[in-house]
Amino acid sequence: MTYTSPVPVADGHFYAGSRLEIQNLVMAYGDVEVLKDVSLTVEPGTTTCIIGPSGSGKSTLLRGVNRLHEPKAGSVRIADDDALKLQPDVLRRRVGLVFQHFNLFPDHTALQNVALALRNVKKMPKAEAERIALERLTEVGLAERADHRPRDLSGGQQQRVAIARALAMEPEVMLFDEATSALDPELVKGVLNLMAELGQRGMSMLVVTHEMNFARKVADQVVFMDEGYVVEAGTPDELFDHPKSDRLRLFLSEVL
């Protein structure tokens, strides 16, 4: 397995992660309910990993939190605000999302990828946006590749640019949607290292992942979802070593 354990962080940039509280969330595509009743809380500066079989509604949940897909019922609170009452664009500035397939802008260099929303959304002057973009790229270990276009970067590097792009907006919560699933095996660890480091630097993170070792070592809380419900939630020890439900036992026997 690729992930061993997080490296302690002593200095550098720290983030002010917010509390994220999801209550009785229901989401549907048309008439098909894919999320039936999901409640979970990410405490400030902690990492929650969501595991579960495909079709369990993990990705849908993330898209509901930043309202790329509008929830049907329930509530999402970020810090003290009702996320479903905020302007979607305002909410999305406070919630970073990292996609499975990176979704970098192919015509833009790594630096421009990170700087674009700073300029367009935060209305920063070019020089300032690029200064911040370079800072974030340095943080993800890609300062030297700032002028490369996505196709001149490896999958792992592209995903780290995507993380830098989301971080540049200074979100209070980061969502990761199977961020390492599309990567070659030897590139996974670099991205996981970075994610673990973010957690240590105070970011609140909700991570959908298939990397069980990452969930075990890094998560403060693990949530097992199946068929649109939270089946079990608890500490990594509780879920991985003492699973209560048959579904989780079955799932773990399949993936471990």
Among 75, 193, 213, 235, binds other proteins (CB under 8 A): 193
CB of 233 to other proteins, least distance (A): 25
- x/- track of binding to other proteins for residues 110-139 (CB under 8 A): ------xx--xx-----------------x
Contact assessment for residue 68 and residue 34, using Cβ atoms and an 8 Å cutoff? no
Nearest residue (CB) to other proteins, 194 versus 230:
194
Contacts of 39 (CB under 8 A, 6+ apart): 22, 23, 24, 25, 74, 230
Nearest residue (CB) to other proteins, 156 versus 243:
156
CB of 200 to other proteins, least distance (A): 10
- x/- track of binding to other proteins for residues 138-177 (CB under 8 A): -xxxx-----xx-xx-x-xx--x-x--xx--x--------
Concatenating the DSSP letter of every residue in 136-171 gives HHHHTT-GGGTT--GGGS-HHHHHHHHHHHHHHT--
Nearest residue (CB) to other proteins, 102 versus 224:
102
Nearest residue (CB) to other proteins, 16 versus 250:
16
Residue at token pair 């499975």: 100
Tokens of residue 132, six digits: 């911040």
CB of 168 to other proteins, least distance (A): 9
Q: Which of 58, 59, 131, 127 is nearest to 99 (CA)?
A: 59
Note whether 223 binds other proteins by CB under 8 A. Answer: no
- Identify which range of 43-51, 100-108, 204-212, 232-240 contacts other proteins by CB under 8 A: 100-108
Half-sphere exposure of 59 (CA within 13 A, CB side): 13
Q: Are strands 47-51 and 204-208 parallel, antiparallel or unpaired?
A: parallel
- Residue 221: phi, psi to the nearest 5? -140, 140
- Identify which range of 30-38, 50-58, 179-187, 240-248 contacts other proteins by CB under 8 A: 179-187
Half-sphere exposure of 90 (CA within 13 A, CB side): 8
Tokens of residue 189, six digits: 């660890």
- Residue ranges that bind other proteins, judged by CB under 8 A: 4-5, 7-12, 66, 68, 88-90, 92-93, 96-97, 99, 101, 103-107, 116-117, 120-121, 139-142, 148-149, 151-152, 154, 156-157, 160, 162, 165-166, 169, 184, 186-187, 189-191, 193-194, 197
